[in-house]
Amino acid sequence: VCSSDLGEGAAKPPDKRQFQKPVADAVEADINQNVRWRGRRHPYRLAQVKPEGKVDKVGQGENAMAETEVLRRMTIVEGDITRLEVAAIVNAANETLLGGGGVDGAIHAAAGPALLEECRGLGGCPTGEARITRGYALAARHVIHTVGPIWQGGGEGEEALLAGCYRGSLTLARDRDLKAIAFPAISTGVYRFPPARAAEIAVATVAQFLADDRIPEKVIFCCFGEVSADAHRAALSGIG
């Protein structure tokens, strides 16, 4: 489970002009159409991602689209996922759905007690699956709770279960016409999933889904720290 530092220094919001760099131009323009930042602080930093490379087809069926179009719909930011104002944020939960540490605890704390009350009525969630609730006091309208696998060396189906987390969350978003969704780096905290491999699975699974579906229109990988952001950048480069 990823941790989220809600106590970071209350720095003044950076001038948005600092993002007007050649590499980040396309990404920032895309982000600003889909995400608004809440509060006085701006703890996010745009990852330096620019879709490049060959134009290919990914996905299957008549809805398959150009690879570069899929890449444009994926964005990396660094910061606190609880402050993203999107249709849905994803919570890296445990099977009880009753809160925990890291990003799970941070989301429950930011959403308020009503989130826990709704979660009590869901009856838990198996590893690799997802459930959806309202967002309550969060900036996001919904929370999609998914339970990532605990890393046990890779021989217990962890990779398939992690892919299921992303696929199930995206399916809930699509079925409810939620146009923008943000993911933490599921299972890479206390669940010990290797960050680089987790990022590869996350990006590949999301790319495949977006190739075959128009919704969600935007997927944000909200990374807590540079190590996670770098892993996601490398994974995006691998499919570009």
List active site positions: 104
E strand map for the chain: 36-37, 45-46, 57-58, 65-66, 74-78, 84-85, 88-93, 130-134, 142-147, 180-183, 218-223
Beta carbons of 50 and 2 less than 8 angstroms apart: no
Distance in angstroms (rounded) separating the CA atoms of residues 6 and 87: 21
How far separated are the first and last CA of the chain, in Å rounded? 27
Angle between helix axes 102-111 and 113-120 (nearest 10 degrees) is 110
Beta carbons of 118 and 210 less than 8 angstroms apart: no
Q: Annotate 212-238 with DSSP letters as a single string.
A: H---SSEEEEEESSHHHHHHHHHHHHH
Distance in angstroms (rounded) separating the CA atoms of residues 174 and 229: 25
Tokens standing for residue 115: 């989130």
Rounded to whole angstroms, what are the CA distances from 184 to 17, 39, 120, 177, 234?
27, 20, 23, 20, 16
